[in-house]
Amino acid sequence: MLDLRRLRFLRELDARGTVHSAARALGYTPSAISQQLAALEREAGAKLLERTGRNVRLTDAGRALVRHAAVLLDGMEAAEAEVAAIAAGQPAGVVRVSAFQSAFLRIVAPAVAALARSHPGIRVEVTEAEVEEAVPSLRLRQLDAVVGDEYSGQPRRVHGDLAREPLVREQVRLVLPDTHPQASDQRVRMAQLADARWAACQPGTGHREMQIRACREFGFFEPDLRYASDDFLILVEMVRTAGACALLPDLVLGYGVPGVAVRSLAEGTIDREVFLLTRATRTPAIEAVAAALHDAAAF
């Protein structure tokens, strides 16, 4: 009989590409992963891996097992959730959620508080993560739900095994020091900010790509990106104290920050959609968490 835990190791290896990467993601040593995969080959009675230089790749039999692993893991998850719900008399179990910072503060935290009252049998575990790093963990069942974002003109990759639901659509605003010469204008032309210092998220994020694209398309210049953080509140503080400029969504700006001016762009608008991602098959506990996130997003 095939061991489900070992099937998960095989699926992780397929997704991560190397034994070392799979071991790091799962919290095991590479030798332990190799031993478990060797045991899985004995259980399957077929060769699942073949060496390619210093790495390994899946054989046809290994790829077949990975396809079936998703179905088997779905079934096990559903069985565990049903038993937990029967024991608790309502949806129960652990639901692991990730969210980027502003959604964590404005949507996820209120949803967790509401769920503690309405569904005490659900244990919600939340971690802060950008969508780029969270989606692989969702597909590999290390997370159950991801709150992510997408800027207009920058569509995220579509995954057929994931379900996406919109939570909030908001506008991106220009944030600049209230002493800046353009702060007196309600609508600011990007070309007037060609010499400004800019604050943005880290390289590789959708926010940084959006800000660079806006400077190029609207202002026809390359931004001087001096300050980088995935914490939007840090970016706001760099605007306030270091004289930087930034493009930030309404979800961040709802707190009201002294010392900064929030303005619209004269050339047009940039939108951001905050969305929920889950696997296509959801347990009652995940459904309850999804409903609570939708309620919290309707603030």
pLDDT for residue 86? 67
Task: Provide the b/e sequence for 141-150 (b: ≥16 CB within 10 Å).
Answer: bbbbbbbbbb
Is 254 in the same domain as 124? no
Q: Measured between alpha carbons, how far is 81 from 182 in angstroms, rounded to an integer?
A: 56
Is 266 in the same domain as 173? yes
Is 18 in the same domain as 137? no
Query: Does the pLDDT value for residue 221 go beyond 80?
Result: yes
Tokens of 203: 């390289």
Alpha carbon 1 to its chain centroid, in Å, reads 35
Is 75 in the same domain as 13? yes
pLDDT for residue 151? 95
Choose the weakest-confidence range: 118-127, 130-139, 228-237: 130-139
pLDDT for residue 81? 63
Q: Which domain holds residue 141?
A: 89-168+273-297
Is 70 in the same domain as 127? no
pTM: 0.75
pLDDT for residue 193? 96
Instruction: Residue 54: give its domain's CATH number.
Output: 1.10.10.10
Is 58 in the same domain as 196? no
* Boundary residue ending a domain (81, 98, 126): 81
Q: Measured between alpha carbons, how far is 246 from 238 in angstroms, rounded to an integer?
A: 9
Is 264 in the same domain as 277? no
Cβ–Cβ < 8 Å for 242, 180? no
Instruction: Residue 154: give its domain's CATH number.
Output: 3.40.190.10
Highest mean pLDDT among 18-27, 41-50, 60-69, 232-241: 232-241
Q: Kindly report, residue by residue over 17-31, the tens digit of the pLDDT.
A: 777 777 777 677 777
Confidence of residue 211 (pLDDT cuts 50, 70, 90): very high
Confidence of residue 89 (pLDDT cuts 50, 70, 90): low
* Boundary residue ending a domain (60, 81, 102): 81
Closest CA to 147 of 166, 162, 161, 173: 166
Is 68 in the same domain as 108? no
Instruction: Residue 189: give its domain's CATH number.
Output: 3.40.190.290
Q: Measured between alpha carbons, how far is 218 from 225 in angstroms, rounded to an integer?
A: 16
What 3-state class would DSSP assign to 297?
helix
Is 121 in the same domain as 74? no
pLDDT for residue 171? 94
Is 225 in the same domain as 291? no
The residue type found at 90 is Q
Q: Measured between alpha carbons, how far is 21 from 27 in angstroms, rounded to an integer?
A: 10
Is 264 in the same domain as 173? yes
Q: What is the DSSP letter of 4?
A: H
Residues contacting residue 138 through CB under 8 Å, at least 6 positions apart: 98, 144, 145, 146, 162, 277, 278, 279
Closest CA to 33 of 14, 52, 61: 14
pLDDT for residue 130? 86
Residue with more model confidence, 254 or 297: 297
Q: What percent of the chain has pLDDT over 70?
A: 92
Tokens of 74: 């779905």
Please give the average per-residue pLDDT across 61-72, as a whole number: 75
Is 104 in the same domain as 161? yes
Q: Kindly report, residue by residue over 123-173, the tens digit of the pLDDT.
A: 999 999 988 889 888 887 889 999 999 999 999 988 888 899 999 999 999
| Domain count across the chain | 3
Residues contacting residue 147 through CB under 8 Å, at least 6 positions apart: 97, 98, 99, 100, 103, 104, 107, 108, 167, 274, 275, 276, 277, 293
